[in-house]
């Protein structure tokens, strides 16, 4: 798109010539083989057994049910501490998420059994972690060595956070693959991305130069990288321009078969003096960030659902494998 004015910090000059794979129209650059290579690399990383549950602030003293990796869980806070356990009472199986918390103990709604943070028969809370932004649970996962803490990417020290959660009919890999295809940005989200170019691939990180539209004629231009710290997370980091150091962590948590929760934490930061004032007005600003996040993810969830649907069709033999993947400029 031409005619858009940008403001903000001056970016470094682009290399005079981009490598051959980063030239040509977006549909040629968005090479499915390259995207799959980056996805395979991400899928080979360790999860440490950790699953993002929701925003840390979404978990209160009132127990809530969550389905994660096929397990029904109850999540609550006991005197401020995050707790996660099976959502079935060890007595006769009542849903503990229908119960209450009294003096730090989870109380079963059927016969009043009180459960603390230790084992009760076969019932045992899972390891959990609250990183101040997101709540996590560690579950037994085949082929994964458990780690003491979730594997997080670097976060800014001071930030304004906004956390979005939505569900989609796909697998976590479809959510990650969507973000490993930045080339769809201007075509699929023209309301948000006014210009977007992949300008490099450094240390397995895709580097993009992107103009976020503020209005039809005005935008902010930044350089950002995309990388996966684990197989279920992709992080965008602003590395040059306005808001350098800001991150958007997108976590994809499997729920049940073909269902995934997209949990996205935007942690915005700035060196500008006015940013401290902005932090005081976080409550006013956050709904705008959330609205923009949700708008993009409604579209991207549809993209991820489509890739899932296509994979299912190929797996069932309803779609020939070789009917997709053409990014040849000849056609």
Which residues here bind ligand FES, judged by CB under 6 A?
Answer: 89, 91-92, 94, 108, 110-113
Least separation, in Å, of the C-beta of 68 and ligand FES?
22
Q: Label the pairing between strands 71-78 and 64-68.
A: antiparallel
Least separation, in Å, of the C-beta of 88 and ligand FES?
9
As a whole number of angstroms, the distance between CA 86 and CA 65 comes to: 9
H-type alpha helices, 44-119 = none
Tell whether residue 264 is a contact of Fe ion (CB under 5 A): no
Place of tokens 């950002």: 224
Tell whether residue 300 is a contact of Fe ion (CB under 5 A): yes
Alpha carbon of 225 to those of 136, 209, 210, 237, 257: distances in Å? 25, 9, 11, 5, 31
Least separation, in Å, of the C-beta of 113 and ligand FES?
4
Task: Name the residue nearer to ligand FES (CB basis): 18 or 94.
Answer: 94
Task: Name the residue nearer to Fe ion (CB basis): 49 or 185.
Answer: 185
**E strand spans, 87-232:** 100-102, 105-107, 114-115, 127-130, 134-138, 160-168, 193-202, 205-213, 218-230
Task: Name the residue nearer to Fe ion (CB basis): 56 or 250.
Answer: 250
Scanning 4-12, 115-123, 233-241, 293-301 for contacts with Fe ion by CB under 5 A, the matching segment is: 293-301
Task: Name the residue nearer to ligand FES (CB basis): 102 or 187.
Answer: 102
Query: What tokens were used for 149?
Result: 């803490």
When CB distances to Fe ion are compared, the closest residue is 300
Tell whether residue 305 is a contact of Fe ion (CB under 5 A): no
Rg of the Cα atoms in the chain: 22
Q: Which partner, ligand FES, Fe ion, none, binds residue 158 by CB below 5 to 8 Å per kind?
A: none
Query: What tokens were used for 107?
Result: 């109380």
Least separation, in Å, of the C-beta of 94 and ligand FES?
4
Task: Name the residue nearer to Fe ion (CB basis): 136 or 183.
Answer: 183
Q: Label the pairing between strands 81-86 and 105-107.
A: unpaired
Binding residues for Fe ion (CB under 5 A): 300
């Amino acid at each position: 798109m031409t005619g858009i004015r940008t403001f903000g910090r001056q970016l470094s000059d682009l290399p005079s010539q981009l490598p051959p794979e980063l030239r040509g129209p977006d549909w040629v650059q968005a090479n499915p083989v390259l995207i799959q290579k980056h996805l395979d690399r991400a899928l080979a990383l360790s999860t440490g057994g950790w699953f993002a549950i929701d925003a840390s602030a979404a978990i209160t003293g009132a127990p809530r049910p969550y389905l994660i990796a096929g397990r029904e869980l109850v999540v609550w806070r006991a005197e401020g501490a995050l707790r996660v356990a099976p959502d079935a009472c060890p007595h006769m199986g009542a849903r503990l998420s229908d119960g209450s918390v009294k003096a730090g103990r989870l109380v079963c709604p059927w016969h009043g059994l009180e459960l603390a943070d230790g084992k009760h028969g076969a019932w045992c809370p899972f390891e959990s972690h609250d990183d101040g932004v997101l709540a996590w649970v560690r579950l037994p996962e085949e082929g994964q060595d458990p780690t003491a803490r979730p594997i997080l990417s670097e976060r800014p020290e001071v930030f304004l956070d906004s956390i979005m959660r939505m569900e989609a009919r796909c697998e976590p890999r479809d959510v990650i693959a969507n973000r490993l295809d930045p080339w769809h940005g201007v075509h699929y989200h023209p309301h948000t991305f006014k210009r977007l170019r992949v300008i490099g691939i450094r240390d397995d990180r895709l580097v993009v130069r992107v103009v976020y539209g503020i209005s039809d004629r005005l935008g902010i231009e930044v350089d950002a990288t995309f990388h996966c710290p684990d197989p279920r997370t992709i992080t965008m980091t602003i590395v040059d321009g306005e808001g350098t150091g800001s991150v958007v962590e997108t976590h994809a948590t499997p729920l049940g078969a073909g269902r995934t929760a997209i949990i996205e934490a935007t942690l915005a930061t700035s060196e500008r003096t006015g940013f401290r004032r902005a932090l005081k007005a976080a409550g006013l600003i956050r709904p705008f960030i959330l609205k923009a996040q949700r708008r993009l993810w409604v579209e991207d969830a549809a993209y991820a659902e489509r890739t899932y649907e296509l994979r299912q069709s190929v797996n069932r033999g309803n779609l020939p494998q070789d009917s997709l993947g053409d990014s040849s400029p000849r056609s």
